[in-house]
Amino acid sequence: MANKPDDAAAATSLSRKTPETRGISARQKLLAFSSLVLLIVVFSILSPNFFQPYNLIAIMLATAVNGVLAIGVTFVIITGGIDLSVGTMMTFTAVMAAQTVAVWNLPVFVGVLMALVAGTICGLASGIMVAKLKIPPFIATLGMSMLTKGLSLIIARSKPIYFTNAPSFSKISMGTMFPFIKDFQIPNAVIILFVLAILASFALNKTIFGRYTFAIGSNEEAARLSGINTDRWKIAVYAVNGLICGIAGILIASRLNSAQPALGQGYELDAIAAAVIGGTSLSGGEGTILGTIIGAFIMSTLTNGLRILSVPQEWQIVTTGIIIIFAVYMDILRKKR
Amino acid sequence: MKKRTVVLALAFMLIAASSLAAQQYYIPLISKGFQHQFWQAVKQGAMQAAKDFNVNITFEGPETEAMVDKQIDMLAAALAKKPNAIGFAALDSKAAIPYLQQAKTAGIPVIAFDSGVDSDIPLTTCATDNVAAAAYAADKMAELIGGAGEVAVIVHDQTSRTGIDRRDGFVNRIKSKYPKITIVSLQYGGGDQLKSTDLAKAIIQSHPNLKGFFGANEGSAIGVLNGVKEMGKVGKIVVVGYDSGAQQIAAVRSGEMAGAITQNPVGIGYKTVEYAIKALKGEKFPKFIDTGFYWYDKTNIDDPKISAVLYQ
Amino acid sequence: MAEPIIVVRNLSKAFPGVQALQNVQFDLCPGEVHTLVGENGAGKSTLMKILSGVYQRDSGEILIDGKPVEIHNPRAAQKLGISIIHQELNLMNHLTAAQNIYIGREPRYAGGFLLDERTLNAKAKELFDMLHMDFDPRTKVGELTIAKQQMVEIVKALSFNARVLIMDEPTSPLNEAEVEELFDIIRHLRSQGVGIIYISHRMDELFRISDRITVLRDGQYMGTSRVSETNLDQIISLMVGRKIDETARRIPKGKPGEVVLDVRNLNRGRLVKNVGFTVRKGEILGFAGLMGAGRTEVARAVFGADPIDSGEVYIKGKKITIRHPRDAAKHGIGYLSEDRKRYGLAVGMPVLDNICMTDLPAFMNAFGVLKPKKMQKTSAEQVKALSIKTPSLLQKVKFLSGGNQQKVVVAKWLVKNCDVLFFDEPTRGIDVGAKQEIYQLLNELASLGKAVVMISSELPEILRMSDRVVVMCEGRITGELDGATATEEAVMKLATQRETMVKTA
Ligand SMILES: Nc1ncnc2c1ncn2[C@@H]1O[C@H](COP(=O)(O)OP(=O)(O)OP(=O)(O)O)[C@@H](O)[C@H]1O
Ligand SMILES: [Mg+2]
C-alpha cells in the first residue's frame, strides 16, 4: 500500500495473531509430549515395576496395533471424515492372511500381500461410497464395519485360524530386528509402528497426497473450485487407510499367531480416541502423525500403569475416561490461547 | 501447573485405594471377562479365598471375550508386577503361550481356571466338569419330555473348551442313552442374547414339533427363553438352561424355564486362589480340580446350598 | 477495439424455482475492465460461475477467441486462461497463504510426488513483493483478517497469469487504501492486455475503474455502455428501474432520548482498549475506522460473543454483566455479524428457520412445540418488507445470492425486538436499491425509539446515516464527531491517528 503508508502499517500490525502462529503449534506438540512424559514419571514414582525394560516393551507392544490403526484413521479424520470400520477391517485382513498362509498353504509373504490388498480394496470401497455415492462417512464405514466383520466370520467359519504351519509368521510382530541389547529387545511390531509413523508423517507433510488431505478437510468446496479432483483424493485417503489396516491386521495376527475373526469391534474407537487426544480435529483440516502416536502411547501407558498399580478394573475405566476428556480439553484450551 | 497437581492427586488417590501390605503373596487372576455376572461371581469367590488365606489378589478381564490381544496385554502387565503366582483363564491358549513360558521360566506357578489353558504349563485347572454337567442336563431334559421327541440346542461357540464340552456332553448323552430323542438343530449364538433369541425363533419356526430346547450358557439360555416366549410356546417347549443370572433365576422360579445347570463360579474363584497357594507351599495336587455343578429348578432354588452359588 | 477474448451469446441458466439467467449476452476484450452490475440476485455470480466452470449452462454459447467451448470444471477454465475470485471466500483456513495460492499446482520434485515447499514459499513471496504486500506466505489463512484473506484470494487469482480475470465483489471486505492498491493492480494488468470482469455494488468504484459497464436485471440483459457515454443515474435506473438519491443525509426525527446503552472502559486484547461510548434512544451512532480498527471486536465484546478483560456496561443506567450472547439478547442487545457465513446464518437451513432462529421461544406453544403458521407469517412479512429475493420461504439460505443472504441476517434480528442493535457492515455486498431499503429501515428503527449502532467502512454511508460518529483506530476511540457536520477528511484523520503518533505529537 505504497501510497498510504500509515494505513498499511496500521492494517498490518492489526492483523490478528500472525507472528505467534508457528510458535503455538510447536508448543502444542511439546505439551502433548510432556503430558505423556508426566504420566510415565508419575507411574514410575508410584511403582518400581513400571519403569522396567520388560514393562516398557509390554507398553510398546500394546501400542503397536492401536497406533497403526490410529495413523490410518488420522488421514481420514483430517479430510473431515471418519472411519468406523478400521477395527473389523483389520480383522478381515488378518483372516485373509491366515486363510492364505494356513489354509491355502501359500508362503508367508503372499499372506502379507493378501492382507494389504484386502485392506486396500475395503478402503477403496469405503472411499467410493463416501466420495462418489455421497453416503455420509459415518454410515458408509459403519456398513463396511459390519460387512468386514461378517465376512471374517464366514471365511474363518467363526473360529480362529492358527498359523501352525508357518512358525515364521509370528516373527513379523514378535521377533526383533535388533537383538543386541539383552534385556531390551524391541519387537518388530513396535519398529514397524515407528517406521510407518515416519512414512505417514512424511506423506502428510511433504507430498501432494498430504496437502490435498488437509485441503479437503479444511474446505472441500474451495479445494474443488481450485481444480482439485477432490473425489479421487478422498478415495485415495480411504484406500490408504485400508492399506494401513492391512498392516495392523498382519501385526495382530502375527502377535496372536492366529486370526481371531470375532475380534476387532471397538478398536476403531480406541484409534479415533488416540488421534483426537493427539490433537486431530474431528471437524477436519488439523492433525499430525506425531500427535496421534503420542495419543496412542498416552492411552496404552495409562492402561498399563493403572494395571501395574493394581487399580481395580472398574476404576481403571473411570480414570481412563476422565483422563481422555481431560487431555482433549487441555488441547482445546491450548488452541484457544 | 494445574494439570500436574491433578494427575498427582489422582495417582495418590489410587495408590491409597490399593495400598498393599508388604509381605503378602500377590496373585493376579486374569479372567475371560469381568462385566459378566458369572465372572463377578468368580471374583467374589477369589476375594473370599484371598481373605481366608490372607493373600493379595487382583481380578481383571477384557471387556468382551473377543479381545484376545487385550487379555494378553493384561497378562503381560500382571507378569511385570512380579507376582507370586498367576490365575489364568485363556481366551486363546496359543496366543498366550509365550507369556506362560515366561512365567514358567521365572518360576511363577500358573493355575488355570474355568475353560483353562490348552498347555501343560498350568499346574492344574480349576473348572466345572462341563461334559458331566451337560450330560446331566441331557438326562433331565429326557426326563422332562418323557424320553422321546425333538429337541434343539443353542451353544455359545464351537471354539472354546466350554462350548465344545457342553455340546458334546449333551449331544453324546442323548445319542447314547435316548434313541427316541432327536436333536433337530444345533446352532451357535456367540453367547449373545439377541442373536440367540433370533436363532431360537428361527428354529422354533421350522420345527413346530419341538419339545425341548437347551441353551448352553447364560446368554444362549436367555435367548432360548426369549425365543420360546416370543413364539408363544411357553409350556409347550421345555427349556433347560445353563449357568444362572437374574433373568434365568426368575424364569426358573416362574416355571418358564424347567431348570438349569449351574456351575459353581464362586467355587472356581475360591479354588483357583486356594490351589495357587498350595502350589506356592510346594504341595502336590491333581491336574484337574472339579469345582462341581448343581441342577436347580423351582423346587430347590431357595435351598441355601444352591442360592449360594447362583449369581444374580 | 481488439478481437474479444470471450463472447457469450443467448446464455440461459435455471435453478429449481429461479430463472437465474435468460438469454444473456456479454463480451470481454483484452486490456479492458468490463464491469457487471445488477441488483442482488440479478445473476452476476451465476454468469461468472458458468464462465469459470462451476456451473454448466442450460443453453446458449460461449466463444473463446471466436471458437465455441465447453467449460466442464474449474480446471478446464484455468486451462482456458480464466481465473476467478469468488464472491464468497474460498480458502482453506488450515493451510498457509502460499499453500492456498498454489493449491492444485504445487511445485514438485521427485517425479511429481513430493512437495517443494521452499520454491512454493519463494514464489508466493515474490508475488506478494510484486504487489507491495508485506506478508509472510507461511501464515495460516485462518489466522488472517477477512481483508487479508481477500488479498490472498486476489494474489491467488493473479498467480495464474490468466488472460481473463474475474473479480466477483473483490472490494467488499477491503478498506479504502486496499481498494486503491487493488485498482493499481487492475490498471497494471489491463495495460498488459489482461481482460478483467469486475463486479461490485460500490457505485463510486464503477466509474473509477471500468471501461465498459453491463447491466443485468432479474437474469435479463439490460444493456452495455462505455463509461464515457453514460452516467450513474442511467446505470442505476437500468439496474433497479427507478431513480435513487444516493446522497441525502438522514434527518433525525426530533431530539434523541435517554441514554440506553453506556459502555465504559471496555478492554479486550489488543483491539479494544479503554473503549467508552453511549447510545441514545432513537439515535444512529456510526462507528467509523479502517478495517481492523477494532470496531467489530467492540461490538462482539459488548454482545458477549468474546470474553472481556475489563469494563462496564449499563443498560438504561443499570449495570449489567454480559458473559454470553444469551445475556445480551436478554437485555435487548442485538448484533448483526459482518461475516454472515460464519456467524450470522445457518446456510444449510431454509430462509424461514433462519429468520425465526433468534426468537424461537416466541414461536413455541406451552409445550415447546413450534407454531409453523406463526413462523411462516412472520418470515413472509420480513421477506416482503426487505424484498428478499427467494423462490420460497423454504429455500436453503446457501442458494440465495450474496446480497439476499445479508438481508436474511437483518430480518433475523428485526424479528427479535431489541432496544439496541449493532449493525456490523449492514450493506456489505448489497445492491444500491436494497441499500436504500436498509437505510430506510435503520431510519425507521431509530424513529421507533431503538438505539442503533452502525459499523461501516464506507465513509459516505457513515456520513449519510449517523447522528454521531465515533472513530476508532488500533482499538482506541480517537474521536467523536457530530453527524451533521462531519466530513470525510475529519473522519479519515481520526481513523489514522495511531497511538505512536499521538505520543510523539
Ligand atoms: N446453487 C443454486 N441453487 C439455487 N438457486 C441459486 C443457486 N445459485 C444461485 N441461485 C439463485 O440464482 C439467482 C441469481 O443468483 P446470483 O448469485 O447469480 O446473484 P448475484 O447477481 O450474484 O447477486 P449478489 O449481488 O447478491 O451476489 C438468485 O435468485 C439465487 O437465489
Ligand atoms: Mg453474487
Query: Is C63 among the domain residues?
Result: yes
pLDDT band at A65 (very low <50, low <70, confident <90, very high): very high
Categorize the per-residue pLDDT at A18 as very low, low, confident or very high, splitting at 50, 70 and 90: very low
Asked if C144 is an interface residue toward chain A (Cβ–Cβ < 8 A), one would say: yes
Average pLDDT over residues C182-210: 90
- Report the predicted TM-score, pTM, of the whole model to 2 decimal places: 0.79
Contact B73/A159, CB-based, under 8 Å? no
Whether C282 has a pLDDT exceeding 80, the answer reads: yes
Average pLDDT estimate for B113-120: 84
Assigned domain for C145 exists: yes
Does C337 reside within a domain? Answer: no
Task: Classify burial at C9, counting beta carbons within 10 Å of its beta carbon; exposed 0-12, middle 13-18, buried 19 or more.
Answer: middle
Tell whether A287 is within 8 A of chain C (Cβ). Answer: no
Q: Note whether residue C47 is domain-resident.
A: yes
Asked whether the predicted pLDDT for residue A110 surpasses 80, the reply is: yes
What integer is the mean pLDDT of C301-312?
90
Predicted pLDDT of residue C432: 80
- The DSSP bridge partners found for residue C90 are none
pLDDT tens per residue, range C295-304: 989 999 999 8
Which amino acid is located at C113 in the chain? Answer: F
**For ligand 1, atom 1: residue with the closest CA:** C399
Dump pLDDT digits (tens) for C403-427: 788 788 878 877 877 889 899 888 8
**What integer is the mean pLDDT of C174-187?**
85
pLDDT recorded at residue A8: 37
Which pLDDT value is given to residue A177? 82
Average pLDDT rounded to a whole number, residues A175-204: 89
Of B7, B17, B68, the CB nearest to A260: B68
The reply to whether residue A312 touches residue B61, judged by beta carbons under 8 angstroms, is no
Quick one: C289 and C431 in the same domain? yes
Domain with C31, as residue range(s), is 6-239
Going by pLDDT thresholds of 50, 70 and 90, the confidence category of residue B54 is very high
Q: Which of C416, C451, C469 is the last residue before a domain boundary?
A: C416
> Is pLDDT of A119 > 80?
yes
Ramachandran bin of C114, using left for φ above 0, alpha for ψ from -120 to 50, beta for the remaining angles = beta
Residues of chain B with CATH 3.40.50.2300: 25-128+264-292, 130-263
**pLDDT at position A22:** 40
A287 pLDDT band, cuts 50/70/90, is very high
Q: How far is CA C146 from CA A150, C153, C159, C299, in A?
A: 50, 10, 20, 17
Find chain A residues with C-beta within 8 A of C478's C-beta. Answer: none
Q: Are residues C97 and C109 in the same domain?
A: yes
Give the residue carrying C-alpha cell 479430510. A79
pLDDT tens string B240-285 = 999 888 899 999 999 999 999 998 888 999 999 999 999 999 999 9
pLDDT at A20: 35
Q: Is residue C354 part of a domain?
A: yes
- On whether both C411 and C447 belong to a single domain, the answer is no
Is position C442 within any domain? Answer: yes
Are residue C359 and residue C477 in the same domain, yes or no? no
pLDDT (0 to 100) of residue A336: 63
- Please report the pLDDT score of residue B9 as a whole number: 57
Residue A282: strand, helix, or coil = coil
Ligand 2 ion: nearby residues, β-carbon < 5 Å: C 45, 87, 402
Contact by Cβ (8 Å): C58, C16: no
pLDDT in the model for residue A11: 36
Q: Note the ligand closest to the C-alpha atom of C400.
A: 1
pLDDT, residue A73, reads 97
Residue A189 vs residue C271, higher pLDDT: A189
Average pLDDT over residues A259-271: 93
Both C354 and C466 in one domain: the answer is no
Contact A307 B60 (CB under 8 A): yes
Q: Tell me whether A199 touches chain C (CB under 8 Å).
A: no
C-alpha cell at C438: 436498509
pLDDT in tens, B139-181: 999 999 999 999 999 999 887 778 999 999 999 999 999 999 9
Out of B61, B73, B159, name the one closest to residue A159 (CB).
Answer: B159
Average predicted confidence (pLDDT) for chain B: 89
pLDDT value of residue A15: 34
Distance of CA A232 to the CA centre of its chain: 22
Name the percent of chain C lying above pLDDT 90: 38
Quote the cell numbers at residue C72: 466442464
Superfamily of domain B25-128+264-292: Response regulator (3.40.50.2300)
- CB atoms B18 and A311 under 8 Å: yes
Closest CA to C301 of C281, C290, C287: C287
- pLDDT given at position A17: 34
Q: DSSP secondary structure string, B55-69?
A: -EEEEE--SSTT-HH
3-state secondary structure B181-222: EEEEEEEECCCCHHHHHHHHHHHHHHCCCEEEEEECCHHHHH
| Average pLDDT value over all residues in chain C | 87
Digit-coded pLDDT (tens) for C242-265: 666 666 667 766 677 889 999 999
Claim to verify: residue C351 and residue C471 sit in the same structural domain: no
My answer on whether C45 and C168 are in the same domain is: yes
**Which numeric CATH code is attached to B130-263?**
3.40.50.2300
- Dist. CA B169–CA B138, nearest whole Å: 8
The whole-number pLDDT of residue C123 equals 92
Judgement on whether residues C126 and C265 belong to the same structural domain of the protein = no
Report pLDDT digits (tens) over C224-245.
999 999 888 888 888 877 666 6
Can you read off the three cell numbers belonging to residue B112?
Answer: 488355570
Chain C residues 255-274 with CB within 8 Å of chain A = 270-271
Q: Please give the pLDDT value at position C32.
A: 95
Q: Does C338 or A38 have the greater pLDDT score? A: A38
In this structure, the residue with its CA closest to atom 7 of ligand 1 is C399
Residue whose CA is closest, atom 19 of ligand 1? C41
pLDDT bucket at A260, cuts 50 / 70 / 90: very high
Of residues C365 and C349, more confidence is placed in C349
Are there at least 3 beta-carbon pairs closer than 8 Å between A and B? yes
pLDDT given at position C343: 64
Which residues partner with C171 through β-bridges?
none
* C246, part of any domain: no
Provide mean pLDDT across the span A87-111: 96
A298 or A159, which is more confident: A298
Three-class DSSP labels, B137-170: HHHHHHHHHCCCEEEEEEECCCCCHHHHHHHHHH
Contacts C177 to A, Cβ<8 Å:
1, 3-4, 7-8, 11
The Cα-based distances of B291 to A66, A281, B109, B133, B263 in angstroms read: 38, 53, 20, 11, 8
Test mutation, A6, A7, A288, chain C, max C CBs within 10 A: A7
Q: At C12, phi and psi to the nearest 5?
A: -130, 150
| Test site for ligand 1: of C11, C12, C18, C22, most ligand atoms within 8 A of the Cβ | C18
In this model, does residue B14 exceed pLDDT 60?
Answer: no
Number of domains in chain C: 3
Q: Cα(C399) to centroid of ligand 1, in Å? A: 6
Work out the average pLDDT over A69-98: 97
Closest CA to C171 of C185, C161, C160, C159: C185
In the beta sheet, which residues pair with residue A334? none
Q: Would you say residue A293 has pLDDT above 80? A: yes
Can you say whether the dihedral through the CA atoms of B305, B307, B308, B310 is positive or negative? positive
Q: Is the model's pLDDT at A97 over the cut of 90?
A: yes
In this structure, are C476 and C353 located in the same domain? Answer: no
Q: What domains are there in chain A, each with its CATH number?
A: 4-10+21-336 (1.10.3470)
Helix/strand/coil for C423: strand
Predicted confidence at residue C408, as pLDDT, reads 86
Is the per-residue pLDDT at C223 higher than 50? yes
